Structure 1
Amino acid sequence: MPSRLRLAACLVVLFAAPAAAQDVELPYWASIDTPEANMRVGAGEQFPIQWVYKREGLPVKVVRLMQGWRYVEEPDGTTGWISASLLSRQRTAIVVGEGLAAMREEPSAESDLRWNLEPGVVGDLGECEAGWCELDVERHVGWVEESRLWGAGEP
């Protein structure tokens, strides 16, 4: 009898993890967590590859889940399926918009300028406050206007 109880407990634990993964509130931010990731037209390796991403850290918005696959949207609006194993919950952001984006010492337009960032620069996202977000671009840390970052704020 005790061995049956252990077996039942093991089965509950085994099947609870995938079910819990499906209970995530959508949408949410994620980032590409590998040097190369395939975006497919369907949720499975049997589907054709739509895009090959070679940009680790690129933020994506997860909008649907299906058995180990995530339907994501990227900054330009492209959507497709990426294996969940290729994604991280690490928050990143990409600079968007026209022209250079100022990275400031503090979250204020009057704060000292640290660097100017070109559109397309990706960094690790820190805290956001009063319309500004802390961004770490290869250990260069400063504050960027939230409106210039895709991947910041609510998804």
Structure 2
Amino acid sequence: MIRGFRGWALAVLVAAVAGSASARETERGPVTNLPLPRFVSMKAAEGNVRRGPSLTHRIDWVYVRRDMPLEITAEYGHWRRVRDRDGAGGWVHYSLLSGVRTVIVEEDMLDLHARPAEGAQLTAKLGVGVIARLGECLTEWCMLEVNGHSGWARKTALWGVAPDEVRD
């Protein structure tokens, strides 16, 4: 009897874990019905970051970098809770955000390659903190474009794209 109960309990536990994993993968924002979390970028050159989702909440700081990638973690009305690459965040009005995808380079002198391969010809080198427009992404590589230069970079050197994300 104990053996049967353990087997049943294990099956319930596995089903619960599998169910929560699939729920996490398909979590949708209550306002937009878009996936959460998801990456966006700053449309505005300046945007207030507030403690809560309204104009009455205190401004904690101001983002001052157009195209900076941010991760939306929650939605409430016209407000989006975001976090930046340092983990800092707060609530930003949706009109300040864009669906255009960008990334921040996190590795100094990051090589951009003509093809998604380590030995491929170099097209450019990017410094830490450079913001690039995100294009196609494979399992380990993403196509970037910045100031007229384009090429493939290793995904692990970028913030603003999920490790398992593939884009066409």
- TM-score, normalised to structure 2, is 0.76
Please state how far the C-alpha of 1:42 moved relative to its aligned partner: 1.1
Alpha-carbon distance in 1 for matches of 2:136, 2:75: 27
Q: Does 2:145 match 1:136?
A: yes
Please state how far the C-alpha of 1:20 moved relative to its aligned partner: 7.5
Alpha-carbon distance in 2 for matches of 1:20, 1:72: 15
RCO higher in structure (CA 8 A, sep ≥6): 1
- TM-score, normalised to structure 1, is 0.81
CA contact (8 A) 1:96 1:150 kept: yes
What is the total number of aligned residue pairs between the two structures? 136
Alpha-carbon distance in 2 for matches of 1:152, 1:76: 14
Alpha-carbon distance in 1 for matches of 2:139, 2:75: 32
Alpha-carbon distance in 2 for matches of 1:111, 1:59: 27
Unpaired runs of at least 5, structure 1:
1-18
Letter in 2 for 1:116: K
Aligned in 2, Cα 1:46/1:20: closer, same or farther, shift over 3 Å?
closer
Alpha-carbon distance in 2 for matches of 1:47, 1:25: 26
What CA RMSD, in Å, does the superposition of the two structures yield over aligned residues? 1.7
Kindly, what percent of the aligned residue pairs are identical? 35
Letter in 2 for 1:56: R
Bigger fraction of residues in strand: 1
Unpaired runs of at least 5, structure 2:
1-28
